[in-house]
Amino acid sequence: MSELQTIDASDELSYVSLKGRLDIAGVDAVAMPLTVATVTRRKPTIVDMSAVEFLGSLGIGMLVRCAVSLQRTGARFVLFGCQPMVRKTLETSKVDAVLPIADTKDAALALLHAH
């Protein structure tokens, strides 16, 4: 299963972490909480992916939808800390061409404000 934790919900930033498997059941569990914690806040967002053990196509779709919705408000959505197979999955989907992915939290924060 999967879960979401909000780490920082300030005026400057939304910082959340995802945990577990983002398969069909996992996405069902966290899609709405992720939207509430990120998209509805309309802040620059970083997502700690280090505890995500599995990412399927539905999980990728969920992340893309959040990123697109935030982009429309002028805010960026950056993933960081992906485990190797999760990173490989994102690269295979080619979504990494347009969805920012960083190795560390500091690099993610830097990407949030890069032009």
Partner 1 sequence: MAESLTLTLHNDLGELVRVQSHVAAFLAGAGASADTLYLTRLAIEELTSNVIRHGYEHVGQHIYITIAPRPDAVDVVIEDDGRPFDPGSQSDRAAPASLDEAPTGGMGIGLVRGLVGATHYDRVDGRNRVTCRVPR
How far apart CA 70 and CA 73 sit, in angstroms, is 5
Question: DSSP labels for 69-109?
Answer: HHHTTT--EEEE---HHHHHHHHHHTGGGTS-EESSHHHHH
Instruction: Please state the closest distance from residue 25 (CB atom) to partner 1, in A.
Output: 5
Q: Which is nearer to partner 1, 51 or 58 (CB)?
A: 58
Binding residues for partner 1, rule: CB under 8 A, are 21, 23-25, 53-54, 56-58, 60-61, 64-65, 67-68, 71, 85, 88-89, 92-95, 97-99
Q: Which is nearer to partner 1, 1 or 9 (CB)?
A: 1
Instruction: Please state the closest distance from residue 51 (CB atom) to partner 1, in A.
Output: 14
Q: Which is nearer to partner 1, 4 or 95 (CB)?
A: 95
| Beta bridge pairs of residue 56 | none
Q: Judging by beta carbons within 10 Å of its beta carbon (0-12, 13-18, 19+), is residue 93 exposed, middle or buried?
A: middle
Q: Which is nearer to partner 1, 7 or 58 (CB)?
A: 58
Instruction: Please state the closest distance from residue 71 (CB atom) to partner 1, in A.
Output: 6
